[in-house]
Amino acid sequence: MLRAAAVFSATTVMGAGAAWADGEVNIYSYRQPELIQPLLDAFTKETGITTNVLFLDKGLVERINAEGANSPADVILTVDIARLVEAKEGGVTQPLQNETVNKDIPAQYRDPDGDWFGLTTRGRVVYASKDRVSLDTITYEELADPKWKGKICIRDGQHSYNIGLFASMVAHHGAEYTETWLKGFKENLARKPDGNDRSQAKSIMAGECDLALGNTYYVGLMQTNEKEPEQKEWANAIKILFPNTADRGTHVNISGMALAKNAPNKDNAVKLMEFLSSGEAQTIYAEQVFEYPVMPGAEPSDIVKAFGEIKPDALPLADIAANRKIASELVDKVGLNEGPSM
């Protein structure tokens, strides 16, 4: 089922073919409304333009295509390079060549054709047991070292977060090396891939494994989770290791935006995208979601700073995304989701 969020104006949930006033912009979002609301409030305060949001947990591309030329979508907001590429390849975006946006967002976080733009990054890092792992540095390559046999936990190997990392390995080392690496990595797993990133931290606390792959922002979410305070204990059991800080840097993924193909309020959409690319907006966004602004010099939150300094992999995300299919095929080829051999 698609779930539509309440629209942040006097209107109700958007429908195809609806007529909109000149002072509005319509956003289709894969990101939860409460996470982007402070951004939209700031935009409306600055410009007077009302924002309408439709939240979808899946099927965004399919919905916009079904709506066709009458789609009310102006701006697409999403997380993960995979979904941004999916939107472009699905034919629901249009290129934007905008001096302000291109100035604020580094080229490595932009589609070369202008069809999508990164706003914040998160590192795909190693969660390590504070009690059982003395290392302060590690590389992704080392995760295939037999010394970690039975010590690593991960979520589904085909999850987009992991595929992004594996695609970066292909981009840097080639498919043959990555296949061999994945075989060694698989044999170091403590169990079959399972759960989500937060549950990997829980498994480390429980002593089921010593290392896990996870995104940086989940640590901030766990540390501040008042509704489920046990997650604070999971976060307290781990430390973050930023892989490959001595060479190419840590693999990062992005949250991002795109201009919808048939944006009926294109001028307002471009104004919103210019605002979202600004240092002010990136700081607000990064604070909300415990991520890093892509703008050079923009500061992350104090909680994120406490994770330690990140050196992002400088390889353009478009180059990494181009290897996602190969990475996915390699995950199946080595049987990563079957877990280690007995």
Mean pLDDT taken over the chain: 92
Above pLDDT 70, what percent of the chain?
94
Q: What is the pLDDT of residues 41-90, one digit of tens each?
A: 999 999 999 999 999 989 999 999 999 999 999 999 998 899 999 999 99
Q: Give the model confidence (pLDDT) of 227-246 as tens digits.
A: 999 999 999 999 999 999 99
Provide the token pair at 271. Answer: 């104004």
CA distances from 311 to 81, 193, 247 (A): 19, 27, 9
Helix intervals (H) in the chain:
33-47, 60-67, 81-89, 99-104, 160-173, 175-187, 197-205, 216-223, 230-236, 266-277, 279-289, 302-305, 317-321, 324-334
**Predicted structure pTM score:** 0.88
Q: Name all domains of the chain by residue range, CATH numbers in brackets.
A: 24-120+254-305 (3.40.190.10), 122-250+316-338 (3.40.190.10)
CA separation for the pair 4, 12 (Å, rounded): 10
Quote the pLDDT of residue 2: 32
Does residue 20 surpass a pLDDT of 70? no
- Can you give the pLDDT at residue 13? 40
Rg, Å, the chain Cα set: 20
Q: What is the residue type of 117?
A: F
What is the torsion angle, in degrees rounded to the nearest 10, for the CA atoms of residue 247, residue 248, residue 253 and residue 256?
120
Asked whether the predicted pLDDT for residue 10 surpasses 90, the reply is no
Angle between helices 279-289 and 266-277 (to 10 degrees): 70
Is 76 in a helix, a strand, or coil?
A: strand
pLDDT of residue 32: 84
Q: What pLDDT sits at residue 3? A: 35
Q: What is the pLDDT of residues 277-296, one digit of tens each?
A: 998 899 898 988 999 999 98
| CA within 13 Å, CB half, 2 | 16
Considering only residues 6 and 203, tell me which one the structure prediction assigns the higher pLDDT.
203
Q: Per residue in 94-135, pLDDT tens? A: 999 999 999 999 999 999 999 999 999 999 999 999 999 999
- What backbone torsions phi and psi does residue 69 show, to the nearest 5 degrees? -65, -20
